Amino acid sequence: MQKIRLRYAKRGRLRFTSHRDVARAFERALRRAGVPMAYSQGFSPHPKISWIGAAPTGVASEAEYVEIQLVEAVDPVRLAEVLDAALAPGLDVLEAVAAGPGGLAERMEASRWRIELPGVGVAELQSAVDSLLAQEHVEVERLTKDGRRLIDARPAVIRAEVLAPGGPGDDAPEGVGTDMSYPQDSCGILRVVVRQTTPAVRPDDVLSALRVVAALEPPVPAKATRMAQGRLDDDGGLSDPLALDRQAALG
């Protein structure tokens, strides 16, 4: 039995796809690609697939992870190629590695998000972020299936920076363009590192916190993309969660 860890992206219109639909799409693609999956035992066997912290519906991602178990060894590079070809454009397999020692989920301490806010100037956004970082606690309201609940969004925010689109530090993913209906100085980019807590603090919760502390109201919906996941370092950066697996593969 072999365990493979995959990094994939959720792009374009497929950012509106629910995690359940993404999971179904992957299962169909694995069958079409002829991947020798391992299955659970019992009355209704299922392919052994483990999802790691799926992004919320409505946001894009360059750093989604899934782990699959196989009944025979395959070349991870070739697997990535055939699986990517079997998936719809917008669900893109970026990398596959044979799993090394240790669990993958335990390496996911935080996420780095790029949030584009058309119609919000860089200076206005910076002022709102400064107000947020000056607080110890900021409660925001979230609508759940069980009704409305309050969560404290501030402790999860490890680092927040304001950037100009396309400027220094803006790591916009390939194919993502800034909304050009607004001047460049009227479209701030928020790059924020958020600890993965329970309950999870999502990009819309960060925006709600900015609304609470600074009455920030973007005129159009923000565009959020998860750029990375990993362990936190001392500077608030993130380590690559697949680095240990690559090292193990090299022996």
Q: How far apart are CA 81 and CA 103, in angstroms?
A: 24
φ, ψ (nearest 5 deg) of residue 133: -65, -20
Confidence of residue 145 (pLDDT cuts 50, 70, 90): confident
Confidence of residue 62 (pLDDT cuts 50, 70, 90): very high
Q: Which of 226, 231, 234 is nearest to 243 (CA)?
A: 231
Is the pLDDT score of 178 beyond 70? no
- What number of other Cβ atoms are within 10 A of residue 163's Cβ? 20
Q: How far apart are CA 97 and CA 76, in angstroms?
A: 5
Pick the residue with more confidence: 240 or 249? Answer: 240
CA angle, 138 as apex, 234 and 135 as ends, to 5°?
Answer: 60
Q: How far apart are CA 91 and CA 126, in angstroms?
A: 33
User: For residue 176, what pLDDT is reported?
Assistant: 56
Is the pLDDT score of 43 beyond 70? yes
Contact by Cβ (8 Å): 90, 11: yes
Contact by Cβ (8 Å): 218, 121: no
Name the strand (E) or helix (H) holding 115. strand 110-118
Identical fold for domains 2-106 and 110-230, yes or no, is: yes
Q: How far apart are CA 51 and CA 44, in angstroms?
A: 19
> May I ask the CATH architecture of the domain 2-106?
2-Layer Sandwich (3.30)
User: For residue 88, what pLDDT is reported?
Assistant: 95
Is the pLDDT score of 221 beyond 60? yes
DSSP bridge pairs for 149? 142
Is the pLDDT score of 218 beyond 70? yes
- Each domain of the chain, given as residue ranges in start order, spans 2-106, 110-230
User: For residue 116, what pLDDT is reported?
Assistant: 95
Confidence of residue 148 (pLDDT cuts 50, 70, 90): confident
Q: How far apart are CA 13 and CA 23, in angstroms?
A: 16
Mean of pLDDT over the chain? 92
CATH assignment, 110-230: 3.30.70
Confidence of residue 251 (pLDDT cuts 50, 70, 90): confident
Is the pLDDT score of 183 beyond 70? no
Pick the residue with more confidence: 97 or 177? Answer: 97
Q: Give the residue-averaged pLDDT of 146-166.
A: 92
* Each residue's pLDDT tens digit, 79-99: 999 999 999 999 999 999 999
Is the pLDDT score of 15 beyond 70? yes
